A and B are shown apart, each in its own frame.
Chain A
Amino acid sequence: MTLLEVKSLSKSFFGICVLQNVSFTVKVGEVVGLIGENGAGKSTLLKILSGAHQPDRGEIVLNGAQVHFASPLESEQAGISTVYQEFNLLADRTVAENIFLGREPQRFGFVQKNKMNALAQEFLESIGILTISPTSLVRELSTAQQQLVEISKAVLRSPKIIQMDEPTSSLAQHEVELLFKIIKRLKENGVSIIYVSHRLKEIFQICDRIIILKDGNFVSEHESNEVLEEEVVRKMVGRSLTEYFPRRPIVQEFGKTVLRLEAAGNENVDGISFSIRRGEIIGIAGLQGAGRSELLDGLFGVSPFSRGQIYFNDLPVKIRSPRQAIQNRVARIPEDRKVEGLQLFESIMDNCLAVVRSMNPRETRKIKANQRSLLDAVEISTQNLNQEVRFLSGGNQQKVVIAKWLNAQPEIILFDEPTRGVDVGAKVAIYRQIRKLADSGSAVIMVSSELPELIGMVDRILVMKDGQLVRELPGSSTEFEILSAALSVQLKEGNCERN
Chain B
Amino acid sequence: MVFLALVISVIVGNILVSAAGRNFFSSGNLLDVFSATSVLGIIALGQTLVLISGGVDLSMGVVASMSTLIAAGVMDNKQGNIGAGVGFALLFGVLFGLFNGILIGLFKINAFIATLGTSLLLSGYLATNFHGSYGQVPAAFHKIGSTNIGPMPLSTLIMWSGAVLFYVTLKQTRYGFHIFAVGGDTSVARLSGIRSIPVLIGVYVICSLSAAVAGLILASRTGVGSPTIGTDSKYTLLAIAAAILGGTTLSGGVGSIIGTISAVTFLGVISNVMSVIELNSFLQDVVRGSLIILAAALYAKKSSLRITPRFSRAKV
In A93-122, the 8 Å CB interface with B consists of 93, 97, 101-104, 106, 109-111, 113
Given contacts A76-B193, A90-B253, A101-B181, contact A467 B187 (CB under 8 A): no
Cβ–Cβ contact B194 & A102, under 8 A? yes
Q: Contact flags (1/0) for B276-316 with A, using CB distance below 8 Å? A: 00000000000000000000000000000001011110110
Q: Which 7 A-B residue pairings sit nearest by Cβ, starting from the closest?
A: A267-B309, A102-B192, A73-B193, A90-B184, A101-B192, A102-B193, A88-B188
A314 CB-CB contact with B under 8 Å: no
For A, the interface residue count at a CB cutoff of 8 angstroms equals: 32
A51 to chain B: closest residue by CB: B191
Cβ–Cβ contact A72 & B191, under 8 A? yes
In A259-284, the 8 Å CB interface with B consists of 265-271
In B167-222, the 8 Å CB interface with A consists of 172-175, 177-178, 180-181, 184-185, 187-194
Cβ–Cβ contact A90 & B188, under 8 A? yes
Given contacts A89-B188, A93-B180, contact A109 B174 (CB under 8 A): yes
Cβ–Cβ contact B172 & A110, under 8 A? yes
In B94-131, the 8 Å CB interface with A consists of none
List residues of A whose CB falls within 8 A of some B CB. Answer: 52, 72-73, 76, 88-93, 97, 101-104, 106, 109-111, 113, 140, 265-271, 291, 307, 466-467
B45 CB-CB contact with A under 8 Å: no
Q: How far is the CB of B231 from chain A (nearest CB, A)?
A: 32
18 contacts between A and B (CB under 8 A): A52-B191, A73-B193, A90-B180, A90-B185, A90-B253, A91-B185, A92-B180, A97-B177, A101-B181, A102-B192, A110-B174, A111-B173, A113-B172, A140-B307, A265-B315, A266-B309, A266-B311, A268-B310
Q: Specify the main secondary structure of chain A where it touches its partner.
A: loop
B172 to chain A: which residues have CB within 8 Å? 110-111, 113
Knowing that A101-B189, A110-B173 are A-B contacts, what are 6 other residue pairs whose CB atoms are under 8 Å apart, sorted by A's residue number? Answer: A92-B254, A268-B310, A268-B311, A269-B311, A270-B310, A466-B310
A271 to chain B: which residues have CB within 8 Å? 315
A90–B311 Cα gap in the complex (Å)? 28
A307 to chain B: which residues have CB within 8 Å? 314
A307 to chain B: closest residue by CB: B314
B187 to chain A: which residues have CB within 8 Å? 88
Cβ–Cβ contact B173 & A88, under 8 A? no
A73 to chain B: which residues have CB within 8 Å? 193
A52 to chain B: closest residue by CB: B191
Cβ–Cβ contact B174 & A91, under 8 A? no
A265–B180 Cα gap in the complex (Å)? 39
For B, the interface residue count at a CB cutoff of 8 angstroms equals: 27
Q: How far is the CB of A140 from chain B (nearest CB, A)?
A: 8
Cβ–Cβ contact A467 & B310, under 8 A? yes
Given contacts A88-B188, A90-B185, A93-B180, contact A109 B175 (CB under 8 A): yes
Cβ–Cβ contact A270 & B181, under 8 A? no
Tell me which of B174, B185, B253, B309 contacts A268 (CB under 8 A).
B309
A101–B175 Cα gap in the complex (Å)? 11
A466 to chain B: which residues have CB within 8 Å? 310
Cβ–Cβ contact A270 & B309, under 8 A? no
A45–B177 Cα gap in the complex (Å)? 31
Cβ–Cβ contact B188 & A101, under 8 A? yes
